[in-house]
Structure 1
Amino acid sequence: MRNENKMTKLFIFLWVLSFPTSASTGSHSAWVLVTYIKGNTQFPEFSITVMLDDITVGYYDSETRTYVTRGNTTNEDDMYNLGDNTAIRELLYDHLVDKLRSENHTNNLVVYQILGLCELLDKDKSGPFIIKNAFSGSTTDELKYFDGKFTYNGPLKYTEQESDPALQLLMWYHEVFSYPNCLNTLRSYLKKRGAQVKRKVKPRVRLIKKANSDSRGFRVSCLATGFYPRHINLTLFRDEQPVADHEITGGDLLPNDDGTYQMRKSLEISAADKHTYTCSATHLSLDNKLDIDLEYQGETFKQVISSVLVVLALGLVLITVIGVIKWRRRRHSGNT
């Protein structure tokens, strides 16, 4: 479990989550990430991570030699699963080992990765199919198939008139086998786990102002956390006008441990700044745009003081009322 979590954070987040995907609510994707590491590391030599959108649904590595499903699974979950196919696993492993030998790397640490993904667009329309190869986190070549056409970027020769025979064979293989199999896998997962990737969780949004000892000014931070799906539009306004991008720091999408996401955007301001600031968020889980005004530490203190004064005032009123009642009772008993 520890190795799986580390592999997911290191490779899935840095490479896969940075890969652009559609923000459409009707678009979904299946991902397979194959990683081979040669060198002295804490990670397994060979691993496969299978994902539905951004949810890990299966994992295999060369240390446990066992494919493990993740999340809400059924016995039928892996009928099409690449990660649970021993023959394909061995083929991928041999391919990456041979690649290392042929290129004769002298580095102490070598990382090869293969990323395969396919998408279903709105109304179950077949979307793009993409195969990427990477070395140490950088893409070396990419093959894309969509609407019956291939595009390729890499070292092999490819034009509409002529292409490398090995590349032609690879294209044929992906068109008649890999692409249909990936779409079948994706449709199968969506039937069983659609509720997981179609769920909507509202963001918790705050706008905070904190003192910056280095600049003797302040840092205004717009924070949204706990939201799903991961697509969110977070904007910082100054006097009802969007703050320019070059003034903003942060803005990276980060995962939470519970499967939701967070994003923070910050702005440095001077101590004399008198502008008003607002944080605005739009998300699929929200019916309307969510606007949050700045939270000053002084305001919180004032609210506490005001609450205490209200309680004290009510206490004084209550004591006065009780005193009046007792006085009337004593007066009434004295008259009788």
Structure 2
Amino acid sequence: MKVPAVVLLILGSVHLASTDTHSLTMVATFISGETQFPEITMVLLVNDVPVEYYDSDIKKIVSRRHWRANDSIQETDLRDYVVAVLYSGMKTSLNTMMKRSNQTQGAHVYQSFTACDLENDTLSRFFIMSAYDEEEKYQYDALSHIQNTFVPEFVWSKVKSDIRKHIFSSIYQPLCVRTLRRYLQEDKNILLRKGTVLDSSRTGSPLSDPTERPRVRVIQKTEPHSGRTQVSCVATGFYPRRVNMTLLRDDRPVPDRELTGGQVLPNGDGTYQLRRSLSVSEEELRERHRYTCTVSHLSVDNKLDVNWDPVLISAVLIAVLVLAALIITAIVLCRKRRHTGEEDENWMMDRSITVTLINWHHKQ
């Protein structure tokens, strides 16, 4: 589900020099209708590690930094104000979307996702996205101040655009940087992950080198509704999170508009995963294109390439199906002859046919 929000920000003034990319993200979800969930929830994360949480049931910001005892929440007045502004804005946006879609009943979800990145201690990215019922509706690049919305009601006037530009440039951008630096400094043993990446092959023992090499594969499956073939390029188990993935068709990059996915997601062991998928029609399969998944990452000297050839896969599948049919036929004949009381010589002959077919399969 795609997401959006105003970041829940914390004032801080500690400087941290870094050669990596680090992110402060805020995920907020507003739900209308009768559900078992709070009306609004907000989660603040640093490098995908949850650090603070708020929902409309508990009505307060709580720390999830379990590695520090008796942690206190700072700047509560400022952050309570930010929560109130965010709550009001998301509620208004959700009502606008429900009215626009002529939806007055049932559960509906409006989400907001905000992220700012520090690269080499410099703000390299700051953006907001929002979505309604899993469909993206709004984007705002807070560095270039470019707004992209699919909803006319969300388009800003010139005056409102200038005000938003001033607020983000003078308040939210520097505040986001100070907040991220403060967290990285105070909780660097957790958030910078030095010595905490686990090696599953050694039963969870820490790695001396914090980089983890991605495992790359191409997955093929049939889409249940359309009958088309979905080709997915999957990279998993890598650290740090920065990775480049390209899906090639006959050595040429497939346009982004044809692909789905592309978001780097955390695994449960502290590493990351990325998936990009392409929907291929039967006609495209008959054209015998060659697809290649190529991945570049800090942990490898050269890019990793994995090929997918639908012609080869189809040929192997046909061979396997033919082999399976022959084996089943041979077994049925064997059992039939045993039950009709034929001589043991015929039974042994049928067994030899089955063994021969299996040996042929292993040689292919």
Instruction: Decide: shared fold, TM above 0.5.
Output: yes
Distance in 2 of aligned mates of 1:242 and 1:65: 52
Amino acid at match of 2:27: L
Distance 2:87 2:222 in 1: 53
Label 1:85 to 1:287 Cα distance change in 2 as closer, same or farther (>3 A).
same
Per-residue CA distance 1:76-117 (angstroms, 9 max, x = gap): 977567899444434433555567789994632454445444
Would you say 1:227 and 2:245 are equivalent positions?
no
Among 51, 57, 74, which residue is 2:51 paired with? 57
Q: Secondary structure at the match of 1:156?
A: coil
Do the aligned partners of residues 287 and 121 (structure 1) sit closer, same or farther apart at CA in structure 2, a change above 3 Å counting? same
> What is residue 157 of structure 1 aligned with on the other side?
157
Give the structure-1-normalised TM-score. 0.56
**CA contact under 8 A between 2:218 and 2:234: conserved in structure 1?**
yes
Q: Which of 104, 119, 126 is the matching residue for 1:121?
A: 119
Q: Map of 1:75-114 to 2, 5 A cutoff?
A: 85-94=79-88, 96-97=90-91, 105=99, 107-108=104-105, 109-114=107-112
1:261 aligned residue: 273
Report the 3-state secondary structure (helix = DSSP H, G, I; strand = E; otherwise coil) of the residue aligned with 1:15.
coil
Quick one: which amino acid aligns to residue 118 of structure 2?
A: L
**Which residue is equivalent to 2:3?**
15
Aligned match for 1:205, one of 198, 216, 223: 216
Matched, 1:286 2:300: yes
Deviates more, 1:33-42 or 1:126-135: 126-135
State the distance in 1 between where 2:140 and 2:114 align. 10
The CA distance in 1 between the partners of 2:211 and 2:87, in whole Å, is 38
Judging changes above 3 Å, is the alpha-carbon distance between structure 1 residues 82 and 186 closer, same or farther for their aligned structure 2 residues?
farther
Using the size of structure 2 for normalisation, the TM-score is 0.53
CA contact (8 A) 1:58 1:67 kept: yes
Name the SS of the counterpart of 1:107 in structure 2: coil
Q: How much does 1:61 deviate?
A: 1.6
In 2 relative to 1, CA 276–94 (structure 1 residues): closer, same or farther, beyond 3 Å?
A: closer
Q: Point out the structure with max Rg over C-alpha.
A: 1
Aligned letter for 2:297? H
Structure number with higher relative contact order (C-alpha < 8 Å, ≥ 6 residues apart): 2
CA 1:63–1:285: 2 relative to 1, 3 Å: farther
Offset of 1:56 from its aligned partner?
3.5
Letter paired with 2:123: S
- Aligned residue type for 1:227: F
CA distance in 2, matches of 1:219, 1:141: 28
* Letter of the structure 1 residue corresponding to residue 275 of structure 2: M
Task: Report if aligned partners of 2:29, 2:112 keep a CA contact under 8 Å in 1.
Answer: yes
Query: In structure 2, what is the Cα distance between the partners aligned to 1:202 and 1:187?
Result: 27
Which whole-Å CA distance do the structure 1 matches of 2:93 and 2:292 have between them?
A: 53
Match of 2:184 in 1: 190
Shift of 1:48: 0.9
Alpha-carbon shift at residue 140 of structure 1 (Å): 4.7
CA distance in 2, matches of 1:242, 1:104: 42
Is this contact kept in 2: 1:250–1:264, CA < 8 A? yes
| Residue ranges of structure 1 left out of the alignment (5+ in a row) | 1-9, 17-24, 310-336
**Equivalent residue letter for 2:40:** F
Distance 1:260 1:45, change over 3 A: same
- C-alpha distance in 2 between matches for 1:113 and 1:209: 31
Q: Deviations over 1:35-77 (max 9, x none)?
A: 3222123432011121224443332222344545446743597
Supply the distance in 1 between the matched residues of 2:63 and 2:110 (Cα, whole angstroms): 24
Distance of aligned partners of 1:44 and 1:210 in 2 relative to their CA distance in 1, 3 Å threshold: closer
C-alpha deviation, 1:30, in angstroms: 1.6
| One-letter amino acid of the structure 2 residue matched with residue 289 of structure 1 | K
Distance change >3 Å, CA 88–CA 76, structure 1 → 2: farther
Q: Any idea what the Cα deviations from partners look like across 1:129-169, whole Å, max 9, x if unmatched? A: 445566554435747246xxx555653321xxxx24x963x
- Unaligned 5+ residue runs, structure 2? 5-18, 149-153, 198-209, 321-357
Q: Residues 61, 87 of structure 1: CA spacing in aligned structure 2 closer, same or farther, 3 A cutoff?
A: same
